[in-house]
Each structure stands twice: as structure tokens, then as C-alpha cells.
Structure 1
Amino acid sequence: MTFDDVRKFALTWPEVEDGTSYGTPALKVRKKMLARLKEDGDSLVVPDVPIDERAMLVERQPRIFYFTDHYADYPIVLIRLSKAKRATVEPFLRRRWRGLASKAARTAFDASA
């Protein structure tokens, strides 16, 4: 996968828009970050992932999910896009999107699915 692949499916969800964060492309929902491209160009930075959930993701799929020392104390997980498949990334980000989107946007999305 690439960031463009992620961008294509995420922009189909209500209230998702392009943005930037730390000088890299980002996807935002109502001005809050859904995910951004890490400076390495291959990793997706996903905020607000509880530390215990991150630990489980890293343990189960260490080739895809990881974090660096820089993010150790923050609720952030990194996704290696070059190793990931859409079937893993899309549902993970959609769940995060559901937490950021308005109730009206979630209802409209659910009705159209």
C-alpha cells in the first residue's frame, strides 16, 4: 500500500479531508488528525490508539504495526504501508474515523453501506 491508496478509500468517508501535519500529507476529520504520512514516506502515523491496543497490534503483526522510541510514551501506532494490505488498514482506520466523525456523518455512511 501507499499513502495514496489510503487517501483514496479514506476520502470516500464523510468529513474526511486532505491536510498536512509536521510537513507531511495528512487526513483529517473535522480538523482532527485521522492519520498522517511519516517522514520516512512509508509509514502511517495513527494517533489516539490506546497503549494496550498498540501493544496487542505490535505483538500480533510486528511487520505491519510498530512504534519508535520517540512514540513510546504516546498513544500512537505506526503502520508500515509497504507491508500492509488494505484488508488490515481500512477497517482499522474506519474505526478511528467513527470516533472522530459526527453522528450525522456516521449515520449517513451506515445508511449508504
Structure 2
Amino acid sequence: MNPSVFVYLEFLRKTLLPLPGVTEKMCFGTPAFYVKKKIFTRIKEDGENLVLGTLERDKWMQANPETYYITDHYRNYDYMLVRLDKVDPEELKELLITAWRNRATGKLISEYENNL
């Protein structure tokens, strides 16, 4: 696994664990983040990519195919892969929060918005 994965993991934890209902567990041997037992992102086994739930992957892949892409495995799922060494941290933060929102309950989203 890529040693820089620990820097990425720290960023993910700092961004995601403060969100209501988020937990971290292992999935396919790598750290993954869930809300109410629903996965929304995980570090891919190579330690260089992030598997990220999104409802707008075509938009992101067209805008920046060097950073956002899929493999055949993800073609029929609402996920895209993110090259961690290429993604802008602020853009990634936005994508992570959106992925969380897509899985979170209305109550959790309200709790988050009330604490902004």
C-alpha cells in the first residue's frame, strides 16, 4: 500500500468523522466510511484511489478525467474512483460531504446544517 495513504486517511477522518452518524470500519481490507451502516466512500486496495459514492459521476469524469474515472467493475454502480494524488482537497471535501448527504437521513442532514 502506498505510504501516502496515511496522509489521505487523516484527511478523510478529519473531514468525515465530525459529520453526524459517520463511522469508520474496514471494507475489503481498507478503511471505509459509513453513515447508518451505508457505505459512501472507502480507500481502494491500492491506497492511491478513493471509491466514492456519487450521483453525478459523469459530470465529474467529463470535467476532469485525469482525476475522476471508473473501471468496468463500477459501471453499474453509483460510484467513481478518485485519484488521491490529483484531486484538489477542497473539491474532494465537497464531494465527500455530498456523498454523505446522499446516504444520510433527513434528521442527520438537519443536525449537520444546524451546526454550520
Q: TM-score, normalised by structure 2?
A: 0.85
Equivalences for residues 66-105 of structure 1 within 5 A:
66-105=69-108
Q: Please, which of 96, 103, 112 is the counterpart of residue 109 of structure 1?
A: 112
Contact 2:41 2:99 in 1 (8 A): no
Runs of 5+ unmatched residues, structure 1: none
* Cα deviation code 1:41-95 (max 9, x no counterpart): 0111013x34xx3222111111211111222233220011111122111111111
- Change over 3 Å in CA distance of 1:99–1:74 after alignment to 2: closer
* Displaced runs of 4 or more, over 6 A: none
Structure 1 counterpart of 2:105, which letter? S
Report the counterpart of residue 3 of structure 2 in structure 1. Answer: none
Following the alignment from structure 2 to structure 1, what is the Cα–Cα distance between the partners of residues 49 and 38? 19
| Of 102-111 and 12-21, the range deviating more from structure 2 | 102-111
Partner of 2:100, secondary structure, is: helix
* Cα deviation code 1:17-45 (max 9, x no counterpart): 11111121101100100101101101110
Q: TM-score, normalised by structure 1?
A: 0.87
Report the counterpart of residue 7 of structure 1 in structure 2. Answer: 13
Q: Aligned pair count?
A: 110
Contact 1:3 1:81 in 2 (8 A): no
Structure 2 counterpart of 1:73, which letter? N
Structure 2 counterpart of 1:35, which letter? T
